[in-house]
Structures are given as C-alpha cells and as structure tokens.
Structure 1
Amino acid sequence: MELIIQTITTGNFVWFTFVISAAVIVFAAMKLASNGDVIAARTKISGMFVGVLLLAGATSLPEMLTGINSVLADEPNLAAGNFFGSSAFNMFILAILDVIGKDQRILRSSALKHTLSGSLAVFLCTLVLFFLCANPLLASIHFQIGWVGIDSIIIAAFYVFSVYLINKNDSSEITADLTEEELKSIPSLKAGIFGFILASALLMIATPLMVRSSATISDITGLGTSFIGSTLVAIITSLPELVTSIAALKISAPEMAMGNLFGSNMFNMFGLALTDMFYTKGRFIGAIDQSFLIAGMLGVLLTSLALVGNVTSFRRFRHMESDSVIMTIIYLAGTYLLYIQSRV
C-alpha cells in the first residue's frame, strides 16, 4: 500500500515538474522570438531571411537544448524523437494556420518564395534518414572522428551551405523601412540582444528539468522515450513555432510564418547533428533506434506535401485547403502508428 501511494505521489510530482518546466520553456522561447523580431527590425534584415534563420533558430532552440540534455542524461531516443517529432508537428502547424487564416490561404499566399527553404528542409531530413538506414555499414567502417560521426559533420556542413543559399537568394528582399513613429515603439538593439540572451539562459535552466521528467513519464506510462519524445516533448518544444506563426499570420506576414516552420525543420536536423558533439559514447545517429525511420519519414512526407501545396492549386474543402486536410490525416495516422509501435 505504501509503495502504491509513493508511486502515485512520485507520478504527480513528475507531471507537475513537466508542466511547469514546459510552461517556462514556451514562455522563454516566445521571449526569444520577440527579441529576435527586435533584432530583425533594428538591423533591417529581410523578412524571409528572418523567418527561415533568425526566427526559426530562436523558436527551435528548445529542441536543440532538449536534444543535448537528453543525450547527457543518456536518453538518445528521447533526443531523436524530439527532433523528428518536432519536424512533423511543424508541418501540422501549417494545417492549423490554414484554418485560422481561412481568408488568407496561407499555403498559397507565399507562392514560390519558400520552395528553396522547404526543399532544403526535405533534403536535410532525408540525409539524416539515409545515414540512419546505413548505420550497420557506417559502424563497420568506423565512420567518425573521435566520438563525433562524420555523418553529423556532413549534415552540419550542408546546413551552413543552405544558410548561404537562402541568404544569397534572399539578398534582394529587404524589409520596408520603418517610420520614425514605428521605430520609437520598438526596443533598442541592445535591449533586444540582452532579452535574447536572458531568454536563452532561462531555457538552459528549464530544459534539463523537462528532459528528466519526460524520461520518468515514459517509464511510468510504459510508452517509452521514443514515443514520448516524438509526441509529448516534440509538441511542447514546437509550441513557440505555433504561437509565433499565428502572430506572423495576424500581421499579414504569411511568408515569415512559413519561413519559420520550414526553417525550424532545417534547424532541427542541424540541432540533431550538433547533439552528436555531446554524445561521447560514439556516433549519435548510430545510437538512434531504427524505429525512428517512421517518425523521420512522417516529417519528410508532410514537408513535401506542404511544398506541393505551396506551388499547386487544390480544391478548398470548407475552411481548409485539400492538402491541409491530407496533412492532418497523415499526421494523426502517423502519430497512431508511433503509438502502436511503442506498445509492441
């Protein structure tokens, strides 16, 4: 009886810790994004570049910190599930935006502007899945330098090259100059940078607590770190993308919303590669379970469909585009498959 009471008490405390730490992470990430907007406005960086890189990097920092803290806690599957699950949920956010902005037709308004960033996101995720599939072969030829995998180095290098391509492609699209009155309502660049650093520090404090509580929750529920990481943790760390994208939609900046989501998927794969530096037992991708191929392919399928919807006219189904409906069905079906997989 005492053991049962202790288990219930421990379970309640774990869920309380998870909820509080998750709330702090979302709050800090939102402050990170808002201060990123200040930096963008003060430095006059182009809107699309801000969405794909600065804003995406800011809102994706929770995923990267969660990944790093997960491998430090020797939970590589929790880290992998977070990255792959977040990428899939980011594309599901597009379907949510389609419902919220039913008069703006979010998947159409940006036209070809995000074909490059979306294509690069698909390539990066596919590259990670290729290395995941090739794990047995790569392990046999010692595909690493020190404890860091060469595959992670290749992924990180391609992300840097992708940033260069987007910057080069977007160099002519500079945001409109703000009026003196508008500039007065925006904090200074110094305040924006300070707020950005402060929010980052808050994330670094809260993330380890969420990781530890998530690992315990996976044990209590019996669902495993793979499923918890791909769903619960991934959704929590993706909430900043959702809120930021909705905010961008409300100010009639759908290109920034889409750039944020495609850019976040790129950054997730970059974060996965950087996590390898903290996994000292060997190649991080080599430690990821093959079952994550489903979670990874779910992200690739949804990102590819979002790209198709970005350049093609589909029939509208009530308040949603047909491709948004399909994306919703695929995301829910994929999540159910991950649940079944966790029970096997």
Structure 2
Amino acid sequence: MLEDSALSLVFLVFFLAGTVICVCGVKMTGLADLIADRTGLGEAIVGGLLLGAATSLSGTVVSVSAAWENQASLAFSNSVGGIAAQTAFLALADLMFRKANLEHAAAEVTNIVQGILLLMLLTLPFAARLTPDITLFAIHPVSVAIPAIYVIGMFISRAVREDPMWTPVRTPHTRTDTPDEEDHGTEDKSNFRVFGEFAVLMAAMGLSGWFIEQSGSALAQRLDISTSLVGALMTAIVTSLPELVTTLAAVRRGALQLAVGGIIGGNMFDMLFLPAADIAYRDGSLYHAATNEDYFWVASAMLMTTALLAGLVVRERRGPAGIGFDSMSLLIIYAGTIALQMTVF
C-alpha cells in the first residue's frame, strides 16, 4: 500500500508540473507575438529565438539535472526525443489549419534557413560518437561547436530576414508576417512589463522542469523501464507540451510564421541541451555514454527535419486528409520510431 501511494504521488507531481508548463506556454505565445510586433524582429525570429528558447527551458533543466546525476541516457534522449515530438506537433497544427497546408501558408525563408541549421546541428552528435572519446575537463569538443554554430546561425537568420536573396511565391493562401495594427487590449502594457511577465513564466517553466526530471527518474526506477524510453517518450513529450500549446495557439491567432518558427527554433535550442548536459556529466563524454537506443532518436529527428524542409520548399497546397505530404511523413516517421522503440530495443 505504501509503495502504491508513493507511485501515485510521483505521477501526481509529474502531472502537475506538466500542467504548469502548458499554462505558461499558452500565455507566452501572446506575449511573444506582441514582442515580435513591438521590436520589429518578426515572428520567425522571435519564434525561433525567444519563444523557442523559453518553451525549451524546462527540457534544459531535465537534461542538465539528469546528467548531473550521471543519467546520461535520460539526459540525451530527453533532448533528441523532444525534437522528434515537437516536429510531429507541426502535423497536428496542420490538421487544425484548414485553409491550406500549413507549410504552404507559412512560407518564410528564415524558417528554411533555421531548418538547415538544425539539420547541421543534428549531425554533430553522430560526429562525436564516431570519433575518439577525447575531452577537455570532461567536455567534448562538439559541446563547443554546437553553441557556436547556434549563435552564428542566429546572425545568419537575422541577415536573411533583413536582406533575403529570394522570397516565396505569393498565393491566395500565403500569410504575410505583418505587425498587428492593435495590441488587442495590451496597449497599456509597457515593454518592460511585457518582458517581465515573459521572464516570470520562463522561471516557472524552469522549476517545473526540475520536478519533471525528479519524478521521471523515480518512475523509471519504480516501473523498471529504460531511462531512454522515459526520456524520449515521457519527459521529452511533457516538457515539449509548451511547443504544442504555443504552436496551436499561434495558428489560431493567425501567426503562422511564429508557429513554424517556434517549433524549428525550439528544436535548435533543444540541441543546446546536449552541451549543457555534457558539461554537467562528469564521467566523460555524454555523446559516448549515450546508447544506440538514444541515437536512434537522433536519426528519427533528422528524417523528420528533412521532411519538414521538403514541405517548406515544395509548398504543397493540400494533400491527404487536408494536410501536406510533409505533415503525413512526420506522423508516419514519428509513429514508426515509437513502434520500433517499444518492440526492438
């Protein structure tokens, strides 16, 4: 009876922390759209950088705290599993947007550039895995390369937005990223207050991430299941719920570039989990401590990112079930990855 009560308490903590993450995610979407309009940075940039980083904070806490406790598989799979889950969320958003294929309507060169950068970042863990286990102060060189490429990529994205060398063909379904003429009841909010509220929500999500890691680790031990499975299909999905909530909320608001940019940007920021976790992991290289089961999710994330990029370039207006071939591919790849994870590994 005592064991059952303890397990129920762990599930309750896991659920409550996930709920806090979802609520904060909804509120952050409106603030991010407002920040994009007031700063003039645009939805793709704000979605990819500010909103993507903020909604990924809880996942960062999960990976870092797991690595600090020498749970390399949980730290690694939480990061890459979250990327796969968040990319699949775009297919759900596409189902919600009935006017046309989401990737067609949200045409934006900045999102394509960031998608290419994400694909580049995803290859680096494989490069680390296939090279000798060389570290400096227990930190692998790839953990320096990933944030460096991320920062460079942000400057490239900004430059592409300000001076694009090509633009997508306009169609009746293409949604242009233009600032709202009105702040919809937020005119009395100063920029300081808007950024302050955003920061408070980020802090709440970060604390929730710590509770997710603690309860997720406890569930893995009590249920006797692999930490890779817990990381990829439990903590990763729960900490990725803000991306689902903010994506659906952005689509509902008509902020389509923000929706797509938030997912791609969140995925890029999720790659920063790995260097942070590698620093926290004191027993050597995190990339070599991770298992083949963990790297299977890296391969899945690469396939899904490729399908998404294809959709952003081809821009199919409408496909099966009212969504594009890219969204259908995302659902098939993700479902197939879960099935193989459950049966093969």
For normalisation by structure 2, the TM-score amounts to: 0.88
Q: Residue deviations 1:228-287, cap 9 Å, x none?
A: 110111111111111111121122222111111111111111222222222233222232
Matches within 5 A, 1:19-58: 19-58=15-54
1:261 to 2:257 alignment: no
Match of 1:286 in 2: 288
Letter of the 1:116 partner, please give it: V
User: Within 2, Cα distance between the matches of 1:181 and 1:254?
Assistant: 18
Match of 2:148 in 1: 157
Three-state SS of the structure 2 residue aligned to 1:138 is coil
Moved more, 77-86 or 273-282: 273-282
Three-state SS of the structure 2 residue aligned to 1:157 is helix
Check whether the contact 2:101–2:319 (CA below 8 A) recurs between aligned residues.
Answer: no
User: Within 1, Cα distance between the matches of 2:265 and 2:334?
Assistant: 19
Match of 1:200 in 2: 202
Check whether the contact 1:42–1:188 (CA below 8 A) recurs between aligned residues.
Answer: no
Match of 2:341 in 1: 338
After TM superposition, give the deviation of residue 313 of structure 1 in Å. 5.2
For normalisation by structure 1, the TM-score amounts to: 0.89
User: Within 2, Cα distance between the matches of 1:40 and 1:189?
Assistant: 11
After TM superposition, give the deviation of residue 49 of structure 1 in Å. 1.0
1:125 to 2:122 alignment: yes
User: Within 1, Cα distance between the matches of 2:238 and 2:304?
Assistant: 19
User: Within 2, Cα distance between the matches of 1:101 and 1:230?
Assistant: 27
**RMSD between aligned alpha carbons?**
2.3
1:320 to 2:323 alignment: yes
Seen in structure 2, the aligned counterparts of structure 1 residues 30 and 129 have a Cα distance that, compared at 3 Å, is: farther
1:86 aligned to which of 82, 87, 101: 82
Matches within 5 A, 1:109-188: 109-111=105-107, 113=109, 114-132=111-129, 134=130, 137-139=131-133, 143-172=134-163, 176=178, 179=181, 184-185=186-187, 187-188=189-190
Moved more, 223-232 or 70-79: 70-79
Check whether the contact 2:20–2:205 (CA below 8 A) recurs between aligned residues.
Answer: yes
Q: What are the ranges of 5 or more consecutive residues in structure 1 without an aligned counterpart?
A: none
Match of 1:311 in 2: 313
Three-state SS of the structure 2 residue aligned to 1:318 is helix
1:73 to 2:69 alignment: yes
Q: What are the ranges of 5 or more consecutive residues in structure 2 without an aligned counterpart?
A: 165-175
1:232 aligned to which of 231, 234, 238: 234
Check whether the contact 1:44–1:175 (CA below 8 A) recurs between aligned residues.
Answer: no
Three-state SS of the structure 2 residue aligned to 1:22 is helix
Match of 1:246 in 2: 248
Percent of residue pairs bearing the same amino acid type: 25
User: Within 1, Cα distance between the matches of 2:259 and 2:222?
Assistant: 37
User: Within 1, Cα distance between the matches of 2:261 and 2:315?
Assistant: 20
Check whether the contact 2:177–2:255 (CA below 8 A) recurs between aligned residues.
Answer: no
Seen in structure 2, the aligned counterparts of structure 1 residues 255 and 205 have a Cα distance that, compared at 3 Å, is: closer
Seen in structure 2, the aligned counterparts of structure 1 residues 34 and 148 have a Cα distance that, compared at 3 Å, is: farther
Moved more, 89-98 or 218-227: 218-227
Q: Residue deviations 1:71-105, cap 9 Å, x none?
A: 12322211111111111111111111111112131
Check whether the contact 1:29–1:62 (CA below 8 A) recurs between aligned residues.
Answer: no
After TM superposition, give the deviation of residue 191 of structure 1 in Å. 1.0
Letter of the 2:56 partner, please give it: S
User: Within 1, Cα distance between the matches of 2:331 and 2:312?
Assistant: 16
User: Within 1, Cα distance between the matches of 2:183 and 2:343?
Assistant: 56
Match of 2:297 in 1: 295
Count the aligned residue pairs: 332
After TM superposition, give the deviation of residue 186 of structure 1 in Å. 6.0
After TM superposition, give the deviation of residue 179 of structure 1 in Å. 4.2
Check whether the contact 1:46–1:171 (CA below 8 A) recurs between aligned residues.
Answer: no
Check whether the contact 1:156–1:274 (CA below 8 A) recurs between aligned residues.
Answer: no
Moved more, 315-324 or 10-19: 315-324
After TM superposition, give the deviation of residue 156 of structure 1 in Å. 1.2
User: Within 2, Cα distance between the matches of 1:88 and 1:25?
Assistant: 19
Check whether the contact 1:60–1:264 (CA below 8 A) recurs between aligned residues.
Answer: yes
